[in-house]
A and B are shown apart, each in its own frame.
Chain A
Amino acid sequence: MSAWRQAGLNYINYSSVAAQILRRSLKPEFRADALKRDASHVRITPWADGKPAAKAQQAK
């Protein structure tokens, strides 16, 4: 088992962290464009029994 899975991450978290680091370490002329692709606005609300279960939160 890999170290990141032991730490409680799944592959999606792992790869998104890797992508973040890669984008940050680009040369300045490419970085601005790449950082735009990093943004995310989706909000996810869990539902239970036909109602929103918790207040909408910015999922990590």
Chain B
Amino acid sequence: MLGRFAPGVCTQVAAVSQQQQTRNMATLKQISMRLKSVKNIQKITQSMKMVSAAKYARAERDLKAARPYGEGAVQFYEQAEVTATEDDPKQLYIAMSSDRGLCGACHTGVSKVIRLRLAEPGAENIKVICVGDKSRAILQRLYSKHIVAVANEIGRLPPTFTDASKLATAILTCGYDFGSGKIIYNKFRSVVSYQQSDMPLFSQKAVENAPKLTVYDSLDSDVIQSYMEFSLASMLFYALKEGACSEQSSRMTAMDNASKNAGEMIEKLTLTFNRTRQAVITRELIEIISGAAALE
């Protein structure tokens, strides 16, 4: 009776073990492939971190030099107590981001400020200038009607004053006559933190009607016009520098986290890989031993 059943059982067992074996071999290979790819990702994120660390060091040094430009310009408006004229509802928002991603919530933060403003009533008088492709990509879908100009090729190299003056010229000549406005940018606070801030923009009329303009000496409209053009360029320059610095620092943090996560994944995968390999070896041993035992 046993003899009659034996051949059938045997083939069945063989088939099952064959099937299992092939499946396990495949997983082993799959795990090792996965492991390799995660290791490569970790290498990439690590080197990106190193690159952005170097860029960040330079950006911070540059930022220190650029700070007086922006602060001086903002101080002027504060000292003169310039307020936006209420009869001119036209507003201009400038989103300072850059072309490059993989840097945490840098660009989303800036775009969100503008998106929230555009969702409020009175948004039809607001126009937006996107500096950097990332803010354009975010704002384009819902608010493309508000965009008057887009600047790109930002973030590959450190921003220069020439970049800022080009932007300022484009803003002055874009044909949009704004009464007031804001530059939205990421203000760098420390290596691990930055915050969305804004700098005000005013029309020349608002500056001329400022209540405390008399604290400044010998101003005529020609001087004011020249100064406003220059202060626009220097504020943009400062915002670009602040943005670049926060972007690099936040990319550094993001890449550090990514490498850490990849490290964790590698640990887990190595563990699974070893366990699976051990299981395959054990099973093969069992098969050999039981085969040998059956022959006796």
Contacts and interface: CB of A to CB of B under 8 A. Distances in A.
Contact of A37 (B148, B151, B154, B161): B161
Given A1-B222, A50-B147, A12 B168 contact: yes
Nearest to A40: B162
A46 B229 contact: no
Majority secondary structure of chain B interface residues (helix, strand, loop or mixed): helix
A38 B202 CA distance: 28
Interface string B212-242: 0000000000100111011011000000000
A26 interface: no
Given A2-B222, A10-B229, A44 B170 contact: yes
A50 B255 CA distance: 34
A3 interface: no
Interface residues of B, number: 33
B157 interface: yes
B145 interface: yes
B41 interface: no
Interface in A28-60: 37-52, 56, 59-60
A1 B222 CA distance: 7
Contact of A41 (B157, B170, B229): B157
Given A10-B169, A42-B166, A47 B160 contact: no
Nearest to A58: B166
A47 B148 contact: yes
